[in-house]
Structure 1
């Protein structure tokens, strides 16, 4: 968990401006802090250099865009993230160990390897089956308190337990538990996934770790099943439904909204909310 508010502020700035030319000076200036001190603090908190972090996120988000927007050319995607055509191809292959063209050929297949369970093969439904389970909704702002993590989604259950125990006195019947996710674990190293654990609070909350998740239009997929099956279901939405839906994901990043959780039976009812333009 990140405990330094400056690091959270820096990450917010980076993820909101990934398709811009972001320099270390830009991020340090935004945080009103010395560049050299900021570089030391960022590396100590995240385990990555600020330059390496920005470059990695650009590579991974560009791959997500390639996966979700099949009609956008590889060259245009590379240019959107600050690369020339030739530089993007070589940088992509160095990071992902596959060329952009080869990645795109396999990105929307009907099955994939499971990043968390060795030897398990993911199988997806048809576009029509996902289409029947998805609604387009407008969601209002969520005022939340949050904790941010950079790590393995396998630690999510433990992190949620600690989070809910810490803030149990502020929960009521209207409280929503929300995850804000920034990565696709089929693309990002499973040990480097960035995500926020959130809980809705009163609009007048004075928590230091409060933020507002912005309103907007979302494609909402409702999941009712076992926790170990969440990843397969959601990858199906991203691999099959999203690229063929006619919608384009925007920059607000995705949300998982929990409706019911039975930890003993490993059962959950939740909404996967994909922000769309």
Structure 2
């Protein structure tokens, strides 16, 4: 099997894992979903992702749990464990083994220093929390919008977000050469990870364009739904600050909950120098019961 097809199959597996983090997934189940033997699939997954499928599943479950601990302050640790397919006792020991502290301690240390490259983001959020109406400041930047369904052709980036602009540039050249761009094309990013929570060199992002086709490999079908949209018009290096304003200062206290749909970055313009971008950061929401 060619390398491109291998990557496509592994992307299919990753998408399946993301949609089923609440389940006790096995390599056999995922291999069956991708129509491979367990042995061949496991070997191919490790070759593409540089880690075993079991390691990836465990890591993604714990990273998702860590994200919920930081953003859903009204959700109990037990409920977070169950949402990620763990019994409370197994979750307690596994989480502490992975992060070095208990889930309760992790939740309290919301300003835990991340990798040095993101210290500025932590300091930004800390300073905003000192403001009297930080929730209102962020809330006024956000509009609730209904976004129509669409099909997106994507290529997946795995690595440090600092390298993402070069990946975007190569992707745009490719789709332009293949004549996939027209006047109605929308450029959209899907970022799966918060580098304040996970290894900054393992962040996953899908760079996408809207297309008419609705099937085939490397296609996301985006469902129609409501999103909280934050208009961002600033330097690329400040995108992480905007995301964390939404997730750390707005989401825990608003009347909405995250939906299962994918978050979207809907691009409007990028500066010629590539250092500034105008886009909407849109996170999928539902009203809490």
Instruction: Give the TM-score taking structure 1 as reference length.
Output: 0.92
Cα distance in 1 for residues equivalent to 2:265 and 2:139? 18
| Aligned with 2:34 (options 28, 31, 34) | 31
The corresponding residue for 1:154 is: 162
Distance across 2 between alignment mates of 1:24 and 1:273: 32
Aligned with residue 184 of structure 1, among 173, 187, 194:
194
1:257–1:272 contact (8 Å) kept in structure 2: yes
Indicate if the aligned counterparts of 1:114 and 1:122 stay in contact, CA closer than 8 A. Answer: no
Tell me if the contact between 2:189 and 2:208 (Cα under 8 Å) persists in the aligned partners. Answer: yes
Between the aligned partners of 1:212 and 1:30, the Cα distance in structure 2 is: 18
- In structure 2, the CA distance between the partners of 1:138 and 1:232, relative to structure 1 (3 Å rule), is same
2:44 corresponds to 1:41:
yes
Counterparts in 2 of 1:256-267, with a 5 A limit? 256-264=265-273, 266-267=275-276
Query: Corresponding residue for 2:209?
Result: 199
Are residues 208 and 30 of structure 1, via their aligned partners in 2, closer, same or farther at CA, if it must alter by over 3 Å?
closer
Alignment partner of 2:243: what SS?
helix
Q: Residue 89 of structure 2 is aligned with which of 80, 86, 89?
A: 86
**Deviations, residues 79-131 of structure 1 (Å, cap 9, x unaligned):** 22222222212211221222211111132x5xx75646265353134110110
Give deviations 1:209-233, integer Å, cap 9, x for gaps. 3332222111111111111111112
Residue among 161, 172, 188 paired with 1:164:
172
Aligned to 2:68: 65
Of 2-11 and 206-215, deviating more is: 206-215
Find out whether 1:122 has 2:123 as its counterpart.
yes
Out of 230, 235, 245, the residue aligned to residue 239 of structure 2 is 230
* Paired residue secondary structure (1:173): coil
CA distance in 2, matches of 1:254, 1:93: 28
Aligned partner of 1:212 in structure 2 is 221
2:12 paired with 1:9: yes
Once the two structures are overlaid, the 10-residue window that deviates more, 37-46 or 205-214, is: 205-214
How many residue pairs align between the two structures? Answer: 272
From the two aligned structures, give the one with the greater helix fraction: 2
Q: Deviations over 1:104-161 (max 9, x none)?
A: 1132x5xx75646265353134110110011111111121111012211111001001
Identify if the C-alpha distance between structure 1 residues 259 and 128 changes in structure 2 by more than 3 Å, giving closer, same or farther: same
TM-score (norm 2): 0.88
Shift of 1:183: 1.4
* Alignment gaps of 5+ in structure 2: 129-133
- Aligned equivalent of 1:100, options 97, 100, 103: 103
The 3 A distance-change label for structure 1 pair 165 and 137 is same
**Unaligned ranges ≥5, structure 1:** none
Q: Over residues 35-55 of structure 1, what are the superposed CA-to-partner deviations in whole Å (9 max), with x where a residue is unaligned?
A: 111000000011010000000
Structure 1 residues 170 and 95: CA distance shift in structure 2, 3 A: same
